[in-house]
């Protein structure tokens, strides 16, 4: 179990959101006035930073929000140089007009600390920490927060690595079963993007968190993995399926569930709340 100064960081909670909320409580024992901690993930295919998880004690959480990384010079520089950023007075140091900047001011946040996340050499996103007090992020506080943020980074990176390994295994199974003949990489990418758009569109109605939306996006490419268990004579049949063949084809959903449950267990990511 990860600890900081003897304090257990994540206890037995499971989802990344729950872990972040617990970490926020632990930070408040040492640094007063930390109103919000949030993580945004970066999608290199679209250049978008996307809200992912947050723990918000004061103000309203910003959710279902995305912003091009290349449109922010300071964030882009941080991602390239692996540097952190401290803003002691948001109203003074950040010009109004940007939706995110205006939102920070509207919530009453006065100062902020931002740290980039990496998985090896790959840029993952950012950790944003906001306070209702000005100049709260002293050198000592920054040192402590960097250690805690590193734990957040490691936890998210571990999940991303496990999920990527799972998806790679599934893709290898597809290739082995010759599913790539009609399920191309571009098709699977489009499916994932459509799934995310739909999830965002119904997020309010079904109370989908940004974390759940991201999981839907990540796992959408597995939507028909069960087809690798369907005989080729049925799967690749050019003519119309008869009733018996159609029944076999319809069984690919149950087969897919069995495959995913096995892979989740093998990669020890069955703890994911949305798995």
What pLDDT score was predicted for residue 233?
87
Structure tokens, 135:
């100049």
Architecture of domain 3-158: 2-Layer Sandwich (3.30)
User: φ, ψ for residue 220 (rounded to 5)?
Assistant: -60, -30
What pLDDT score was predicted for residue 100?
78
What pLDDT score was predicted for residue 270?
61
Structure tokens, 5:
């100064």
Report the CATH superfamily, name and number, of domain 160-266.
Answer: Hypothetical protein af1432 (1.10.3210.10)
Number of Cβ within 10 Å of residue 166's Cβ equals 21
Q: CA–CA separation, 75 vs 72, rounded Å?
A: 5
Closest CA to 52 of 214, 176, 255: 214
What pLDDT score was predicted for residue 264?
73
Which sequence spans correspond to the domains of the chain?
3-158, 160-266
The parts of the chain modelled with pLDDT lower than 50 are 1-13, 180, 273, 275
């Amino acid at each position: 179990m990860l600890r900081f100064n003897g304090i257990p960081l994540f206890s037995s909670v499971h989802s990344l959101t729950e872990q972040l909320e617990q970490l926020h409580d632990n930070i408040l024992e040492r640094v007063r006035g930390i109103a919000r901690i949030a993580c945004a993930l970066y999608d290199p295919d679209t250049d978008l930073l996307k809200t992912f998880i947050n723990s918000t004690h004061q103000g309203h959480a910003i959710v279902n929000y995305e912003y091009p990384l290349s449109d922010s010079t300071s964030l882009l520089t941080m991602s390239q140089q692996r540097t952190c950023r401290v803003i002691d007075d948001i109203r003074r140091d950040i010009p109004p007009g940007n939706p995110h900047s205006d939102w920070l001011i509207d919530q009453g946040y006065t100062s902020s600390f931002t740290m980039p996340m990496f998985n090896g050499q790959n840029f993952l996103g950012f950790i944003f920490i906001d306070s209702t007090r000005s100049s709260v992020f002293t050198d000592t506080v920054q040192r402590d927060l960097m250690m805690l943020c590193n734990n957040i980074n490691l936890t998210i990176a571990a999940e991303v690595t496990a999920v990527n390994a799972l998806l790679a295994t599934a893709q290898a199974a597809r290739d082995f079963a010759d599913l790539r003949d009609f399920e191309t990489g571009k098709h699977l990418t489009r499916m994932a993007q459509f799934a995310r758009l739909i999830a965002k569109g119904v997020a309010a109605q079904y109370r989908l968190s940004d974390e759940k939306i991201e999981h839907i996006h990540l796992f959408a490419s597995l939507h028909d993995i069960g087809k690798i268990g369907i005989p080729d004579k049925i799967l690749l049949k050019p003519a119309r399926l008869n009733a018996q063949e159609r029944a076999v084809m319809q069984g690919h959903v149950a087969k897919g569930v069995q495959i995913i449950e096995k892979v989740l267990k093998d990669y020890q990511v069955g703890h994911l709340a949305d798995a």
